[in-house]
Amino acid sequence: MKLTLALVAASALLSLATMAQAAPPVAEPPPATTGPVDGLVSSPGNFKLLLENEHVRVLQYTLLPGALDHWHTHPPRVGYVLSGAKIRVTEADGTHQDYDEKTGDTYWGEFSPLHDTLNIGTTPYIALLVEVKDTPAKAPPAK
């Protein structure tokens, strides 16, 4: 009898732990700003700085299945998908768009306003983002 109760209790705890892990992340309201929000600052667990100079900033973006990042913006950028997944991008006004990102996809993105991203797939989403910095045009050196 004690063994049966112990097994039932263990099973119940395991079920609760599984349900807690499977619970969808709680979306937060967007911040009250119209300016840029750096993903490296708002979601440091998702963005990793790989290189930065006066021309570009290169980031690795990782979003595990079921994960939701924090609100952020992007400057103009090139993206390269290292590991594809299904993601949902939600804008500050509540509208959203689902994407089925494929490994090897490359894209250009203009400035992206405030949004968050949810991985609605079963695989990690990993992308390299090359953000273009505004630099004044320079004339080539005189010969």
- Structure confidence by residue, pLDDT tens digits, 79-130: 999 999 999 999 999 999 999 999 999 999 999 999 999 999 999 999 999 9
Average pLDDT of the residues of the chain: 83
Q: Are 71 and 114 in contact (CB under 8 A)?
A: yes
The answer to whether residue 68 scores a pLDDT higher than 60 is yes
The answer to whether residue 55 scores a pLDDT higher than 60 is yes
pLDDT tens-place string over residues 1-52 = 554 434 434 444 344 334 334 556 777 877 777 788 999 999 999 999 999 9
Following DSSP, what letter does each residue of 49-66 receive, concatenated? Answer: EEEE-SSEEEEEEEE-TT
* Amino acid identity, position 80: Y
Domain boundaries, the chain: 35-132
Task: Give whole-number Cα distances, 123 to 9, 84, 120, 129, in Å.
Answer: 32, 7, 9, 19
The CATH homologous superfamily of the domain defined by 35-132: Jelly Rolls (2.60.120.10)
Residue with tokens 């090359």: 130
φ, ψ at 3 (rounded to 5°): -65, -40
Q: What is the pLDDT of residue 33?
A: 75
What's the predicted TM-score (pTM) here?
A: 0.75
Q: What is the pLDDT of residue 31?
A: 76
Q: What is the pLDDT of residue 19?
A: 38
**How far is 64 from 45, CA to CA, in rounded Å?**
11
Residue with tokens 């983002």: 129
